[in-house]
Amino acid sequence: MVNHIFTDTGSSSFTEFVRSHAPDLLPGRNETLAAPVGDQIPHATTIVAATCAGGVVIAGDRRATSGNIISQRDMEKVFRTDDHSGMGIAGAASTGIELARLYQVELEHYEKREGRTLSVKGKANRLATMIRGNLPMAMQGLVVVPLFVAYDPAIDGGRIFSYDVGGGPYEQRQHHAIGSGSIFARGALKKLYREGASPEDTVLTAIHALYDAADDDSATGGPDVTRRIWPVVAVITADGFRRLSDDEVAEYVQTVIGNRMGTPDGPIAPLR
C-alpha cells in the first residue's frame, strides 16, 4: 500500500480533489446501497426556514423513519456549515449526513486556500454541484434534498436556498420547508410568518410550523415532552451561527403547547 502526501490539492474545491484521488469516499459512491434497500434506510423528514430581522432561522424535527417504522427519535438534521451558514437535510439520512460533513470541509478548504469566504450565492452554487454528483444514487432511491440558509452581509439579512435532486439552487423568499411534512409546514408559515419579525418570534413561528407538520404527517416527529427531545433550532445573524440550547427550545415548545391546549389547530391568522 502506497501512502500519498499532498502538499497542494490543486483546486479550491475539496470535493473535486477527492473525486480525482479517492472517488469512493464521496457520498453516494457505495454501490451496495441500491434501490432494493433504499426503503430500509432511515429517512430524515421536515426542515423549515424563515428569514427574520437581521438573519434567518432554520429548524428541524428529530424523527427518522424506515418505511412505517420510527428508526430514531433524536436525529440531528440541522448542521452548521460555516460561521454564517447552515443546512438541514431531508431524504436518505446517512447520505445526507455525509453530504453535510463534506460540505463543511468544502467551505473550510476554500477559505484556507483562497484566504476568503465564498459569497452566499457561491456557497449555494457549490452545494448544488455536490448534490448533482449524487444524482446516480438519487435515481436509485437514495435521494437527499437539503435546505441551505445563510446570513448575507450585503443585505444585512438572511437568504434561503432549496434544491431538487439535480442540484438547483432555487432561492426562496421569506420562508420555505422541505421533507414529508413540508406541505403542512408551509401552510403554517404562510399564515404565521411576519416579515421583519424578531429572531425570537420567528423561532416561535418555526416551531408552530413543525408542530403542524407533525400533526398531519406521521413521519414528522412532534416535541417529545416525556423524553425531553426538542426540535433542533438555529439562528444565523451577523453574530454568527447559534444553535439554541435544549432549555431555550423547551421554553418555546411549552409556549406552543400551551397555545395548542386552547386552540389545537394553532393561532388564527387575522383576515384583515
CB 160 within 8 A of CB 172: yes
Closest CA to 147 of 218, 51, 65, 219: 51
Question: Would you please indicate which residues are annotated as catalytic (active-site) residues?
Answer: 45
CB 160 within 8 A of CB 56: yes
* Residue 222 to residue 210: CA distance in whole angstroms: 7
In the chain, the amino acid numbered 28 is: G
Q: Strand 43-44 and strand 85-92: pairing?
A: antiparallel
Burial level of 149, CB count in 10 A (0-12/13-18/19+)?
buried
Whose cell is 486556500? That residue is: 113
